[in-house]
Chain A
Amino acid sequence: MSDSAVEPADVDHIAALARVELDEDERTLFAEQFEEILSYFETLDEVPEVEREPELTNVMRADEVRESLDREEALRNAGEKEDGHFKGPRVS
């Protein structure tokens, strides 16, 4: 979508992937702003390919049972719960 105009329908597609609903004003505003922001991001095309040396190492630990939050504490911030479980929205 970045090579041409960004349409509100393109924004809708991305919003659906991201699970974020938008109102009409946000769709229009974002379409306008994304065009400008994405064309700025496209200056990354000028970046040469760089040989990367990752300094990544695996950090491992023994898989031992340790103290952790108890169930009640872990559920404390959930709006809906039942029998010690999180409760999601009713599907039907």
Chain B
Amino acid sequence: MSHNAYITEETIAGEDGPLAGKTVAIKDNISTEGVRTTCGSAMLEEYVPPYNATVVEQVIEAGATIPGKTNMDEFGMGTTTETSAFGPTENPAAPGHVPGGSSGGSAAVVASGDADLALGTDTGGSVRCPAAFCGVVGIKPTYGLVSRYGLIAYANSLEQIGPLAPTVEEAAELLEVIAGPDERDATTRDAREHDTDYEYAAAADGDVEDLDIAIPTELVEGAQEEVTEQFWNAIEELEQTGATYHEVSLPSLEHAVEAYYVIAMSEASSNLARFDGVRYGTSGGYDGNWNETFAKAREEGFGEEVKRRILLGTYALSAGYHDKYYKKAQDARAWVKQDFDEAFEDADVLASPTMPVTPFELGESLDDPLKMYLADANTTPVNLANLPAISVPVGDDDGLPVGLQFVGPAFGEKQIIRAASALA
């Protein structure tokens, strides 16, 4: 059965390496040379990149075959994969429900077995949310661990490319392939200069003896009971295998969602200014005053959620409002970082439900953007603080998957992989 998880099904052959014989589906905002890359938008319906993203080169060199480009919320803007110009993706693990977003197609192809592994992108939870909703594993790496060269930007200061897989070990194997500095992305950093190495798969040994887990109360209190029940069961399971936990209050997290949206929308309003239908994108063929012709091309090319975010971002950066919104959001971002730093003084990892809710029914949240934004409460703080996190499946409520999120200190990928591997 088709879940509408691919936008383009076109095979790119791999070379030879550790991923030989595996298929790795690629989210459609990551550039593939000669294979169209739409960002889930009518604006880029016919855009064919002339070069590969660094991660695509790495996946091909590692021997994997790319089976196609996966569906996504338009430009990554959504939590359900319903804002795609190519129609919604259905959740293979929970028919009639959304797969989460924005990397919903990537999670769906892994959940249905159509692909062995997939790459998604995570700006405010877009790998972890669909992983949780589809019952698979997803990793959002430390900011700078993976090259963003060839990723079509939505919010540069927040986003990272990350793997989705059926198990923690397989997700870690794919992370090994894509992690590392890249001279084409000046924000990348070498993990080896931060007291660690790239042996992620070996860290998936399930050993949680003496692991100290901190649980931020703010991220549990707001969650549905159906979710917290599965969450506490998993924590109990970890305790029985040698881990200990304590609760901690991080008051800054109450403001993470609004800070995230102000920053992400502001960056989006600038990043998406390039889509004017001249160098690429649909132009509509209008003539006359350039500002007016571009405005018409953009009206036709962008969907409603993208327009909403471009406008709100433009507003947050406009004269008279910059200090009120953007500057305050940067304060909140710094506060969130400080809170996390303090929490890691007494803990190896933090744990919370990945999503405070179980998957929405298809169409349920489309009319209420604020409701959709609030669902990102547990994932956005991690992006604000540039930290690594993993979502791992911990059962379901009446067939609706629930995910648990571990957050680690910067470049602490091995800690979160080890903790998660005790669960899946």
Contacts and interface: CB of A to CB of B under 8 A. Distances in A.
Contacts of A76: 48, 50
Interface string B245-282: 00000001001001101100000010001001111101
Interface stretch (B213-221, B326-334, B399-407): B326-334
Given A20-B310, A59-B186, A77-B280, A36 B290 contact: no
A64 B298 CA distance: 36
Interface in B160-200: 183, 186-187
A18 B308 contact: no
Contacts of A84: none
Interface string A55-88: 0000101000000010001101111100000111
A41 B280 contact: no
Interface string B269-313: 100010011111011011111111111101100101001101110
A24 interface: no
B320 to A, nearest CB: 10
B287 A47 contact: no
A3 to B, nearest CB: 10
B259 A44 contact: yes
A40 B328 CA distance: 13
B290 A45 contact: no
B208 to A, nearest CB: 31
Contact of A79 (B277, B311, B328, B329): B277
B185 to A, nearest CB: 10
Given A23-B299, A44-B258, A50-B334, A14 B329 contact: no
Interface string A31-54: 001101110111111111111110
A87 B200 CA distance: 48
A44 B255 contact: yes
Interface residues of B, number: 62
Contacts of B288: 89-92
B255 to A, nearest CB: 5
A22 interface: yes
Contacts of B292: 21
Nearest to A76: B50
Contacts of A90: 287-288
Contact of A33 (B328, B330, B369): B369
B280 to A, nearest CB: 4
A26 B51 CA distance: 36
A90 B288 CA distance: 6
Contacts of B262: 41, 44
A37 B265 CA distance: 12
Given A17-B314, A86-B278, A88-B278, 18 more contacts: A1-B315, A17-B318, A18-B310, A19-B273, A20-B298, A26-B304, A37-B370, A40-B258, A41-B261, A44-B262, A48-B331, A50-B332, A50-B335, A77-B279, A87-B278, A90-B287, A91-B287, A91-B290
